[in-house]
Amino acid sequence: RSPAGTSWTARMMGPGDPRYLNPSDSGHGRLLLGWEQLPASGPILAPVEGPMDCMRNWMHGIPSLALLGKSMSEAQETTIRSLRKRFPCLAIMLDDEERSMQWRIAERLCDAFEIRICKLGKAEDGSSLDPGAATSEQAWSAIDRGERYVGKRSAVSERAEAVRAALGIRR
C-alpha cells in the first residue's frame, strides 16, 4: 500500500524461474513498497530497487522505499517529494549495475533533499554487492561513505571548490 494504490508481488526462488511475479495490472510504477512502515520522521530515507532490498534495509533499521523497478516514475517522484519535511536526506542505494540511474534520480530530487549516492562495494565473490544481500555494517557504511550529490555541478567540482577555498584561490 502506498498513496497511489495497492498491489502485491511474489518472488520465485527456483533456478530458471522469473524473479518476481506481479499482477499484470499492478501499476507498480506508481507504487512505493515500504510506505506503511515509514516512521513519522528520521534523518534518512533510502530509495532502493526491489522488495528484497527494501526488506533487508528495514531489518538493518534503515527506513527504505522500493521503487519496484530500475527507475523512478513521475508518480513515485511526487510521492517521495511529499516526504521532504519528514526526511531531510535521501540515501539512494540502487543495485550497483544501476549506478547511472542513481545519478538521474538524484538530479530529479536534489532540490528537495540532501542526496547521498551510496555504493555498497563488492561481495566476497568479487561481484557487486546488492542491497538485498548486504550486512547491516555494509549498508550503514555505504550510507556513511555516501557521495553527496550537489546538482548539475558534480561532487568533484564541489571538492575542487573546497580545496581552492582552503588555499585561498578565488575563481
User: What value does the mean pLDDT take over residues 6-34?
Assistant: 64
Predicted local confidence at residue 154, as pLDDT: 53
Which cell goes with 53? 532490498
Confidence of residue 9 (pLDDT cuts 50, 70, 90): low
The proportion of the chain whose per-residue pLDDT surpasses 90, expressed as a percent, equals 47
Q: Within 13 A of 98's CA, how many CA atoms are on the CB side? A: 23
Residue 116 near residue 147 (C-beta atoms within 8 A): yes
User: What value does the mean pLDDT take over residues 37-65?
Assistant: 93
The 10s digit of each residue's pLDDT in 135-154 is: 999 999 999 999 999 886 55
- 171 vs 81, which has greater pLDDT? 81
pTM score, whole prediction: 0.75
User: What value does the mean pLDDT take over residues 100-104?
Assistant: 89
